[in-house]
Amino acid sequence: MNEKWWKEAVVYEIYPASFQDSNGDGKGDLRGILSRLDYLKELGVDVLWLCPIYESPEADNGYDISDYYAINPAFGTMADFDELVEEAHKRGLKIMMDLVLNHTSDQHPWFKESRSSKDNPKRDYYYWRPGQNGLFPNNWESYFSGSVWELDKQTDEYYMHLYSVHQPDLNWNNAEMVNELYRMIRWWLAKGVDGFRFDAIAHIVKAAGLPNADNPEHLPVVQAYQLFSNLEKVHDMLKKLNEEVLIEYDIMTVGETSGLGPEQALEYVGDERHELNMVFQFEHMYLDAARPGTGKWEPRAWTVMELKKVLSRWQTTLHGRGWNANYLGNHDQPRPVSRFGNDTVYRVESAKLLATLLFTLEGTPYLYQGEEIGMTNARFPSIHDYRDIETLNYYEQAKLQGMSEQQILEAVWRKSRDNARTPMQWDASASAGFTTGVPWIKLHPNHEDINVTQALQDPNSILHYYRALIRLRNENKVLVYGDYKLLLPLDPQLYVYTRTLGEEKVLVLLNFSGHEASFAWPEDLQEQTKELMLANYKGESDEDGQTLPLRPYEARLYRIHS
Ligand code: GLC
């Protein structure tokens, strides 16, 4: 298989506002990140993905950019950024920028001009449409609730925003606008950045004519996902971006592409496509809930069998043809240990089990800050403690629909993006070593027990287990490039697979439950020597060579010698 540095790399996602504050204003910043580079280096990660740090009024925490060429003063200066790149590179760490190309802030000068008059030269940089008989131009529903259309009084026309009203969508049919984006991307590349995460890239093209979505119930707005996601022309746009800009650089790219399966993903990441190195898929994120963006957060019970099925399909479909980006959590998702593990009795064991999965699948692993110490979902008692625009909009809508406060909070506790946005827990002090001021969002009270300082001191901590896993992945190419094969697809509790590369074979054994289990070695492996590479429990479990008893959330990694 084609070897690439970005296939072997481990990516660490930093949410700058919540990582490390250096100046006491309660908000994380670039100098804070600088002060933690050695921690990250010791963890063993290779690439730091920085969520947006550009100038922004922060209607959506920086995913609303008002100047692509400037650093948000709350995060520091351009000199701080240059220093961060330099210091990261000195340590062999790479920097990946989060670029939002689907929309800008409504405070971006382009949008200010665009909205000023119907014949402004930048009018066409965005989507403007007149109303339809006093109604919205079409019936599409926004990700953050309500219509995607907002009436702008100045010219009495509507503009489109798939996300919040403060995030107007850019019109990629306008070649001049696209050229402006190219110019900006070249500018960041010239600064020496090593890659991009392209935010919401699946949505940069909308269906021609912006038609209504099917709406049998005649609702004012409906989920219209298929009319603005993964359309054929997105691929033309990405190919052109590569031809015109990216081709010259040895960088890595990952696109955020919800709503597709692995076959369709190959259109982005297929080796011959020259579009993106990998994409973030969402199929495993939909298992426990209605799809985000539908405004419905009803719980759905997920099963281990479903999880295995989804991940295995991605593993086998992309093998040898494209490359996976693997993740269990990020700044938009609940904490993995609260969601797929058990964040009370088996927090440590299940966080380690999830890490074992993340680092032994084929694909580039992405971990999100705090995952390495097993941080858990926030469970704030009041909606006033929440900051996320999606959560607050959901709350308003749910109230209008007559849901009770308790029902809404329960949904928020499970699904809110703020679950993962509480400040990084560095130590047990009052503000967790995150700030000397008042944090912009409340700390999780469990920081007294769950924090980096504690984890560094405890040899059995989740943190040390992450380090060990990263080391193993670095030392064993079979974990990077090996062929994945699922065993026991019908087992409702165990997730077992092998990775094979030439003569090398590794078996990953995960008891994905809070109950004991027993694993029967398949016949072809019974006679072979098994060498334990890593496990999340101490002590041998008694082996008779044929069956292996497993404790709750037990994870084991074996090298199989033939
Ligand atoms: C992506 C980001 C999310 C943001 C949205 C709009 O989904 O991950 O945080 O709100 O795009 O930019």
Catalytic annotation, pick one of 194, 199, 371, 372 = 199
Under the banding of pLDDT at 50, 70 and 90, the label for residue 360 is very high
Please give the pLDDT value at position 40. Answer: 98
46 included as an active-site residue = no
Domains 109-160 and 483-561 share a fold: no
pLDDT over 90 at 12, yes or no: yes
pLDDT digits (tens, 9 = 90+) for 101-146: 999 999 999 999 999 999 999 999 999 999 998 899 999 999 988 9
The model's pTM is 0.97
Under the banding of pLDDT at 50, 70 and 90, the label for residue 542 is low
**How many Å separate Cα 266 from the centre of its chain?**
19
Please give the pLDDT value at position 448. Answer: 98
Instruction: For residue 332, report the distance from its CA to the centre of ligand 1, in Å.
Output: 7
Instruction: For residue 200, report the distance from its CA to the centre of ligand 1, in Å.
Output: 7
pLDDT digits (tens, 9 = 90+) for 176-200: 999 999 999 999 999 999 999 999 9
pLDDT digits (tens, 9 = 90+) for 489-540: 999 999 999 999 999 999 999 999 999 999 999 998 888 899 999 999 987 6
Q: Which CATH class is domain 109-160?
A: alpha beta
Index of the ligand 1 atom closest to the CA of residue 64? 12
If DSSP codes are grouped into helix, strand and coil, which group holds residue 57? coil
Number of other residues whose CB lies within 10 A of the CB of residue 545: 9
**Maximum separation of any 2 CA atoms in the chain, in Å:** 80
| Sign of the torsion formed by the C-alpha atoms of 126, 130, 131 and 132 | negative
With pLDDT > 90 as the criterion, what percentage of the chain qualifies?
A: 91
The answer to whether the CB of 414 falls within 8 A of the CB of 407 is: no
pLDDT digits (tens, 9 = 90+) for 362-374: 999 999 999 999 9
Tell me 357's DSSP state: H
pLDDT digits (tens, 9 = 90+) for 392-433: 999 998 999 899 999 999 999 999 999 999 999 999 999 999
Pocket test for ligand 1, best of 199, 327, 393 (most atoms within 8 A of CB): 199
The answer to whether the CB of 232 falls within 8 A of the CB of 264 is: no
Which of the two residues, 542 and 115, has the higher pLDDT score?
115
Pocket test for ligand 1, best of 332, 389, 391, 392 (most atoms within 8 A of CB): 332
**Closest residue CA from atom 12 of ligand 1:** 63
Strands (E), 217-292: 252-256, 278-280
Catalytic annotation, pick one of 80, 98, 106, 256 = 256
pLDDT digits (tens, 9 = 90+) for 50-98: 999 999 999 999 999 999 999 999 999 999 999 999 999 999 999 999 9
* CATH of region 5-104+174-465: 3.20.20.80
Instruction: For residue 63, report the distance from its CA to the centre of ligand 1, in Å.
Output: 6
Pocket test for ligand 1, best of 14, 50, 163 (most atoms within 8 A of CB): 163
Residue among 68, 202, 166, 178 nearest 124 (CA): 178
Q: Please tell me the distance from the alpha carbon of residue 11 to that of residue 280, in angstroms, as a whole number.
A: 13
Answer yes or no: is the C-beta of 63 below 6 A from any ligand 1 atom. yes
Number of other residues whose CB lies within 10 A of the CB of residue 245: 16
pLDDT digits (tens, 9 = 90+) for 372-384: 999 999 999 999 9
Please give the pLDDT value at position 526. Answer: 85
Under the banding of pLDDT at 50, 70 and 90, the label for residue 295 is very low
Residue among 430, 437, 428, 307 nearest 373 (CA): 428
Residues in CB range of 407: below 8 A, 6 or more apart? 398
Which position has the token pair 């580039």?
364
Answer yes or no: is the C-beta of 256 below 6 A from any ligand 1 atom. yes
Under the banding of pLDDT at 50, 70 and 90, the label for residue 290 is low
Please give the pLDDT value at position 544. Answer: 66
Answer yes or no: is the C-beta of 100 below 6 A from any ligand 1 atom. yes
Index of the ligand 1 atom closest to the CA of residue 417? 9
Answer yes or no: is the C-beta of 199 below 6 A from any ligand 1 atom. yes
Answer yes or no: is the C-beta of 58 below 6 A from any ligand 1 atom. no
540 included as an active-site residue = no
User: Could you confirm whether domain 483-561 is CATH 1.10.8.640?
Assistant: no
With pLDDT > 70 as the criterion, what percentage of the chain qualifies?
A: 98
Where are the domains positioned within the chain?
5-104+174-465, 109-160, 483-561
